[in-house]
């Protein structure tokens, strides 16, 4: 009985909803975010902490994007780089973390050694190893670009320059999801990004009607 109840329990507990799980109470937000991303190409999704950005992305947005899009593995930029990557010429820890996340979409036998990955820019990696058109890059918990290595401004700026070069290609879409209390600290780095992330969508906490749907 306990096992059966666990399998059927729709409450996932203190974690995000994942691809394949049902997400309730966010139909309007999903529709609006999807339309904005498709139309504007580069979008910043922000909310108060705990509003459910990751759940909306994983259980809502990713399964509902047009089938013509190549949705890449969700990216985090906080990876602690391995020792063999740190001293490669041109190494950037945020670019490396991005590429390591994208490598999760490759077959294990096709993944690059860390030293080779550390030498690549994001644009070079995409050109060589990813589908050529209509790809969607999704950066979750993007405030980690600010909270990781707080004083490392030079590497952060270099990452945004690399990212901006990659996003000049209009066959590439990007969604950045972050806590809204960090948006102000992001502004000094945005100049290289096409549109400087002007297209933004705010996800609020569940209202009473949406919460009833979830219940």
The predicted model gives 55-77 an average pLDDT of 96
Q: Mention every residue, 6+ apart, whose C-beta is less than 8 A from residue 49.
A: 179, 181
Sheet holding 172-179, edge to edge: 70-71, 135-139, 172-179, 42-47, 200-202
For the chain, what is the mean pLDDT?
93
Residue 170 pLDDT greater than 90, yes or no: yes
Residue-level pLDDT at 131: 83
- pLDDT level of residue 214 (50, 70, 90 thresholds): confident
Residues 17-56 have pLDDT tens digits of 998 888 989 999 999 999 999 999 999 999 999 899 999 9
The pairing of beta strand 200-202 with beta strand 172-179: unpaired
Residue-level pLDDT at 12: 80
| One-letter-per-residue 3-state SS of the chain | CHHHHHHHCCCCCCCCCCCCCCCCCCHHHHHHHHHHHHHHCEEEEEECCCCCHHHHHHHHHHHHCCCCCEECCCECCCCCCCHHHHCCCCCCHHHHHHHHHHHCCCCHHHCCCHHHHHCCCHHHHHHHHCCCCCEEEEECCCCHHHHCCCCCHHHHHHHHHHHHHHHCCCCEEEEEEEEHHHHHHHHHHCCCCHHHHCCEEECCCCCHHHHHHHC
Residue-level pLDDT at 2: 55
161 vs 163: CA distance, rounded Å: 5
Residues 175-194 have pLDDT tens digits of 999 999 999 999 999 999 99
Residue 67 pLDDT greater than 60, yes or no: yes
Residues 114-158 have pLDDT tens digits of 999 999 999 999 999 998 789 999 999 999 999 999 889 999 999
């Amino acid at each position: 009985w306990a096992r059966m109840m666990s399998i059927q329990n729709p409450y996932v507990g203190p974690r995000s909803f994942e691809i394949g799980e049902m997400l309730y109470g966010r139909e309007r937000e999903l529709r609006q975010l999807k339309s904005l991303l498709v139309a504007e190409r580069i979008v910043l999704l922000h909310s108060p902490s705990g509003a459910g950005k990751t759940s909306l992305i994983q259980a809502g947005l990713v399964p509902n994007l047009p089938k013509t899009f190549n949705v890449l593995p969700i990216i985090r930029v906080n990876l602690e780089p391995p020792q063999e990557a740190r001293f490669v010429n041109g190494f950037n820890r945020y670019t490396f973390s991005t590429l390591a996340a994208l490598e999760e979409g490759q077959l294990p036998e096709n993944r690059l050694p860390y030293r080779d990955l550390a030498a690549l820019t994001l644009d070079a990696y995409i050109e060589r190893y990813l589908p050529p058109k209509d790809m969607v890059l999704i950066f979750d918990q993007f405030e980690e670009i600010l909270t990781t290595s707080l004083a490392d401004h030079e590497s952060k700026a270099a990452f945004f320059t690399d990212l901006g070069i990659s996003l000049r290609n209009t066959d590439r879409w990007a969604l950045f999801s972050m806590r809204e209390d960090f948006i102000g600290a992001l502004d000094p780095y945005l100049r290289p990004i096409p549109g400087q992330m002007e297209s933004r969508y705010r996800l609020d906490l569940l209202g009473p009607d949406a919460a009833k749907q979830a219940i």
